Amino acid sequence: MLTRGWWHEKRVVIFTGIVVVAFGLLDIRLFWLQVINRPNFTRMAASNRIRIETIEPLRGRILDRNGNLLVENRPSYTLYAQPWIIRKQQGSVMNLAGILQLEPDELRQRISRRGWFTFAPSVLQRDLSWDALAALEAQMIDFPGILFRLESKRRYLCPVAVHILGYIGERDIANPQSGGIRYNLVGKRGLEKTYEKYLGGEPGVKYLEVDANGRLIGEASGKPSIPSQPGWDLYLNIDAKLQEFACELMADRTGAIVAMDPRDGAVLVLVSEPDYDPSLFTGVMPQEVWDELTSDPAKPLLNRAIQGLYPPGSTFKMVDLCAGYSEGVIGENFGVHCPGGLQIGNRWFNCWKHGGHGGMGPIDGLQHSCDVFFYTVGLRLGIERMEKYARELGMGAETGIDLDGESDGVVAGKAYLDRKFGAGKWSKALAANIAIGQGDVLVTPIQLAVYTAALATGDVVSPRLANRFVHPVTGEEMSVEPDIRPVKIDRLILLKVREAMRRVVNEPGGTAFWLKNPEIVIAGKTGTSQNPHGKDHALFVAYAPFDDPTIVVAVVVEHGEHGSSTAAPIAFKLIERYLKGEVKTPSDSALAGTAPLETSGD
């Protein structure tokens, strides 16, 4: 067989040569891996063994203008699971579900919020009960991949401010902006959401070394932790005592109260009733509770002060005066005779006072809230000119208050009506309706407050709940600057409007004269907004003191029927309490019979 002699001679060299070439290739590959590409693999090795753990920052507290604590933190235990590890221990999931009193499927879903192939812990339960904590502590060994962390939890000390403060919740992980490593709680609503950036603080980072099973070895050497930065404490313009008082005044009525300093927009009181228990949102909310909250016909989650939309009713009439004077519709001796109604086209428009007011000028027209006078002014102005002044005074747009979800309201203009009814298909008579704040005009209580402040000072302000931030460690302060824009209406015209508003309260025949306070000169305007779904809503806007206003109040009481009898007393008491520290205005119930019906029916 061995016919080929040369092969016999060379075969050792050839076999060895093949092996040498193969080994040479292996060694070249090794050189590429270990010398040329080493940095990449070093990085991969580090990402294998180093887990980045977030150090949760302490959230900033929230205090009122007098330093009363509204929101603070308290310690609570949170249970986490590392999906990658627990993935292999489906038995312990059942066990754990028993201790936490959860359905196993629900628990699996919580564990795998980020998928099963990650070490990043997912939250199983916040604010563990002591029983569950003790049971888990005792059986810790049976639950690899389960961790506790001591974290801080929000405590809301001022339940009447729930609509302002809001609540916090799990960071939305579907949002890629939120980043992969932060799994903390963030503001979901209210001030907690608006000022998340300051309240939330900066999370710190700990570099931990783990083994292939995700077991913690210790802090990674050479990678020092970055400590977390606590959030800033937030001081509000809100006066907690006044807020509580306002809530008491609302009793169990539905509606909203806004009180604001007209000079800088500092919101003193912002009440929306009904409200809800803020503690419902601090743990894991059961579905039934959420369903109940969202399906409640009283809509407790709605912040009526900034989201509730109401026809302004007669409180809109100051817009007509401003527009009328500015546009020359109301001349020097302009007057209207009120016979109790006005025929416009083929329709009779009633005045609220069916007997009629007789001759009415602009000042007494507002004082008596004579509808016929304002029908006339509205028709002469037309819809577009009224729209212009309504917007100038802050209606029809968000006020810019530092809360989320504010409504912008509706101020009918040509474009709006063309869209609603078709181009040119709407009656000019709509202007009469709009002039008395009915129909296609909708405002929020906060807009009413801004509007009243603009009349009182000549400036439109952006309402501000936040006053300043104080750093809890350094004491450094950051104030929230007011945002003020002057109203483009002649000062003299505003003086006339203010005088009319003064008369509403302080002169006989004014719609709120019965509430006149001898010590404080309050200017205001009553309103009743027609509600097709039930009793009319009662509105009242006011500012005081007349000469140098320091507070404006807007009150809306749903189904309160008459602004003068229901809404106005609330505003008066609030102003008194704020300016004098005590209340002398008789309660509306005690004086129910005293409220003169003929002047409260506008």
Partner 1 sequence: MPTEVITLRQRLRDLDRKLVFATLIAMLLGLVLIYSADHSLEQAVHFNRQLVVAAIGVLLITLLAVLPTRVYYSTAFLAYGFAIALLLLAMTSGIMGLGARRWISIAGLNLQPSEAAKIAFILAAARVLSQQHDFVSHWRNVGLVAALAIVPTALVLAQPDLGTSSLFPVIAAGMLAWLGLPLQFFILFLLPVVSLFWAVNAWVVTPLIVAGLLFLWRTGMRWVGLTIVLVICLTATVAAPRVWNRLEPYQQRRLISFLEPSTDPLGSGYQVIQSKVAIGSGGFVGMGYLKGTQTQLRFLPEQHTDFIFALAGEEFGFVGTTFTLVVLLVILWRGFTLAGQAKSQFAGLVAAGLTTMLAYHIIINIGMAIGLLPVTGLPLPFLSYGGTFLLTCLAAGGILLSVGIHRRER
* Contact residues for partner 1, defined by CB under 8 A: 1-4, 7-8, 11-12, 15-16, 19-20, 22-23, 25-27, 29-31, 33-35, 37-38, 40-42, 44-45, 48-49, 117, 209-213, 217
Nearer to partner 1, 50 or 97 (CB): 50
Nearer to partner 1, 15 or 348 (CB): 15
**Shortest reach from residue 145's CB to partner 1, in Å:** 16
276 in the Ramachandran plot: left (φ > 0), alpha (ψ -120 to 50) or beta?
A: beta
Nearer to partner 1, 211 or 291 (CB): 211
Positive or negative torsion for Cα 183, 189, 194, 199: negative
Measured in Å, how far apart are the chain's first and last C-alpha atoms? 125
Instruction: Say which residues have a Cβ less than 8 Å from residue 121's Cβ, sequence separation at least 6.
Output: 80, 81, 82, 147, 183
Nearer to partner 1, 38 or 580 (CB): 38
Nearer to partner 1, 2 or 492 (CB): 2
**Shortest reach from residue 25's CB to partner 1, in Å:** 8
Q: What is the 3-state secondary structure (H, E, C) of 391-451?
A: HHCCCCCCCCCCCCCCCCCEECCHHHHHHHHCCCCCCCCHHHHHHCCCCCEEECHHHHHHH
**Shortest reach from residue 214's CB to partner 1, in Å:** 10
Positive or negative torsion for Cα 564, 568, 573, 575: negative
* Position 195, amino acid: Y
Nearer to partner 1, 51 or 380 (CB): 51
Cβ atoms of 439 and 386 closer than 8 Å = no
Strands 216-219 and 459-461: unpaired
CA distance 258 to 246: 9
- DSSP H helical ranges for 35-89: 38-49, 83-86
Nearer to partner 1, 30 or 495 (CB): 30
**Shortest reach from residue 38's CB to partner 1, in Å:** 5
CB atoms within 10 A of CB 213: 12
Instruction: Let me know the angle formed at the C-alpha of 599 by 595 and 601, rounded to the nearest 5 degrees.
Output: 95
**Shortest reach from residue 219's CB to partner 1, in Å:** 14
* 173 to 123, 159, 280: CA distances (angstroms): 12, 29, 22
**Shortest reach from residue 401's CB to partner 1, in Å:** 51
Nearer to partner 1, 111 or 246 (CB): 111
Nearer to partner 1, 8 or 419 (CB): 8
**Shortest reach from residue 18's CB to partner 1, in Å:** 8
Q: Residue 247: what are its φ and ψ, rounded to 5°?
A: -65, -40
Q: Which helix (H) or strand (E) holds 494?
A: helix 491-506
**Shortest reach from residue 84's CB to partner 1, in Å:** 11
**Shortest reach from residue 143's CB to partner 1, in Å:** 21
Burial of 1 (0-12, 13-18, 19+ CB in 10 A): exposed
